[in-house]
Amino acid sequence: MPTDDKDHGPEGRTTAHPGSKDPLHGVTLEMMLGQLVAVYGWEEMGRTIRIRCFTHKPSISSSLEFLRKTSWARKKVEDWYRLTKARSRTP
C-alpha cells in the first residue's frame, strides 16, 4: 500500500487528486450511481436516461452490470453526473 498522504481506494488506486479538473477523476461508476440515486432517485433517473435497469426493479448491482458492458449508456450517466456536479458548484 502506498505511504503518501493521499486517499487510496481499493487496490491502492488514488481516489482524489487535488489538481485534477476532471470531475470523474477518482470517482467510480458505483460512486456516481450512488450519488445520482441519492439526489434524483430511480424514478427520475429512469425518466432522464431511458434504460431498463433504471426503470424495472432498479438496483446498483444490475445497473453497474449493464453500464460496464454498454458504453453509450455509461457515457450518459457520466455526462449527467458531470452536469450535476457542475450545478452543485454554481452559486
How much is the pTM?
Answer: 0.72
Residue 82 lies in a domain: no
Can you give the residue range of the structural domain that contains 70?
30-74
What per-residue confidence (pLDDT) applies to 47? 96
The answer to whether 24 and 83 are in contact (CB under 8 A) is no
Number of independent structural domains in the chain: 1
Q: Which of 25, 26, 48, 20 is nearest to 36 (CA)?
A: 48
Q: What is the CATH number for 63? A: 1.10.720.30
Instruction: Give pLDDT tens digits for 32-86.
Output: 999 999 999 999 999 999 999 999 999 999 999 999 999 999 999 999 999 998 8
Residue 59 lies in a domain: yes
Asked if pLDDT for residue 29 goes beyond 60, the answer is yes
- Distance CA(58)–CA(62), nearest Å, equals 7
What per-residue confidence (pLDDT) applies to 86? 85
Count of other CB atoms within 10 angstroms of residue 81: 20
